[in-house]
């Protein structure tokens, strides 16, 4: 056979199947996003559209990979948690990692204009990706706590820093000096006394990062319909409460329930844009007030 002479090279491909029965975490992170944020004039310290675009790309990944039970994003990074039993691509590590990373990246580019309708994408962004395995539930929780604590530390620092620069008229260097050696309490105090900002009232997406969970979701105005949707939450994963309220993540996995409450004033409810986009894909129409108006 003409092929047989060459076929031996196939043996150079090594088996990279991931251990069974273990939490698989894929984390992606934007390459050089400090520069990317500058080139695209991201608002400091937090550009809400840039975060929404990250969330949008993560929803695309979760729609494709049904074994992802939770995703967690902040800044230019996203973590995707695959359930222990996931058998996608026979658990081949390179397949999983490369698909997740490239799908995330292509969705980020594909949906750029949804979140930045008046901004040109100046160059092609890229993301690195890694797989980390966590044997125990506690390891997984500690991993997510670590990422969420990171958001808190960075965001508190950045919030004070940019207020000192943008509202306080300091140079970057002066702001850096002002903050050197300060503790959280000092930073909260500066924010409050100088700028009248109570840190706890700023957008929870900035403070907590974005958690995406699959939930059977009750939509206001559609009382008898529950759809499985990927919904954003901004909760504290460090506390036990989160894991009790969303017991399906560590338990026998079956999406839990979520209800968007009616806003009594106008009989409608502002649903998150990410959720609205999923409903529209399911052919629900939504009105300009972002309430769900008409079933398909």
Instruction: Tell me the two tokens of residue 165.
Output: 């620069």
The residue range among 41-49, 207-215, 227-235, 251-259 that interacts with ligand ATP, by the rule CB under 6 A, is 41-49
CB distance 256 to 269 below 8 Å = no
How many other C-beta atoms can be found within 10 angstroms of the C-beta atom of residue 178?
16
- Nearest distance from residue 187's CB to ligand ATP, in Å? 17
* 119 in contact with ligand ATP (CB under 6 A): no
Is 29 annotated to bind a ligand? Reply is yes
Q: DSSP state, 262?
A: P
Neighbours of 111 (CB within 10 A): 17
The tokens 């036990």 sit on which residue? 240
Q: Among the candidate windows 19-27, 36-44, 246-254, 276-284, which touches ligand ATP by CB under 6 A?
A: 36-44
Q: Phi-psi region for residue 154, left (φ > 0), alpha (ψ -120 to 50) or beta? A: alpha
Residue 34 sits in the site that holds ligand ATP (CB under 6 A): yes
From the list 76, 116, 164, 292, which residue makes contact with Mg ion (rule: CB under 5 A)?
76
Considering beta carbons, is residue 48 or 294 the nearer one to Mg ion? 48
The phi and psi torsions of 293 (rounded to 5 degrees) equal: -100, -55
Q: What does the per-residue mask of binding to ligand ATP show for 67-106, with x meaning CB under 6 A?
A: --------xx------------------------------
- In the complex, the residues that contact ligand ATP under the rule CB under 6 A are 29-34, 37, 42, 44, 46-47, 50-51, 75-76
């Amino acid at each position: 056979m003409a092929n047989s002479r060459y076929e031996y090279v196939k043996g150079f491909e090594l088996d990279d199947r991931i251990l069974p029965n273990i939490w698989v975490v894929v984390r992606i992170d934007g390459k050089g996003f400090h520069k990317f944020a500058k080139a695209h004039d991201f608002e400091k310290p937090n550009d809400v559209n840039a975060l929404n675009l990250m969330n949008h790309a993560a929803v695309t990944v979760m729609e494709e990979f049904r074994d992802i039970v939770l995703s967690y994003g902040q800044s230019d990074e996203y973590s995707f948690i695959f359930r222990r039993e996931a058998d996608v691509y026979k658990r081949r590590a390179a397949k999983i990692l490369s698909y997740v990373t490239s799908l995330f990246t292509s969705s980020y580019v594909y949906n750029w204009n949804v979140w930045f309708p008046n901004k040109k994408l100046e160059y092609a962004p890229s993301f690195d990706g890694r797989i980390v395995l966590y044997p125990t539930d506690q390891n997984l929780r500690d991993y997510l706590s670590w990422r969420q604590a990171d958001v808190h530390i960075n965001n508190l620092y950045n919030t004070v820093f940019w207020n000192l620069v943008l509202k306080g008229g300091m140079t970057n260097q002066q702001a850096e000096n002002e903050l050197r050696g300060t503790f959280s309490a000092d930073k909260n105090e500066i924010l409050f006394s100088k700028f009248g900002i109570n840190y706890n009232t700023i957008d929870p997406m900035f403070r907590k990062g974005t958690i995406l969970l699959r939930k059977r979701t009750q939509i206001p105005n559609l009382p008898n319909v529950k759809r499985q949707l990927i919904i954003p939450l901004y909760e504290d994963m460090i506390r036990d409460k989160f894991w009790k309220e969303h017991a399906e993540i560590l338990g026998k996995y079956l999406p839990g329930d979520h209800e968007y409450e009616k806003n009594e004033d106008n009989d409608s409810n502002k649903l998150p844009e990410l959720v609205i986009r999923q409903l529209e894909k399911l052919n629900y129409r939504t009105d300009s007030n972002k309430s769900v108006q008409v079933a398909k």
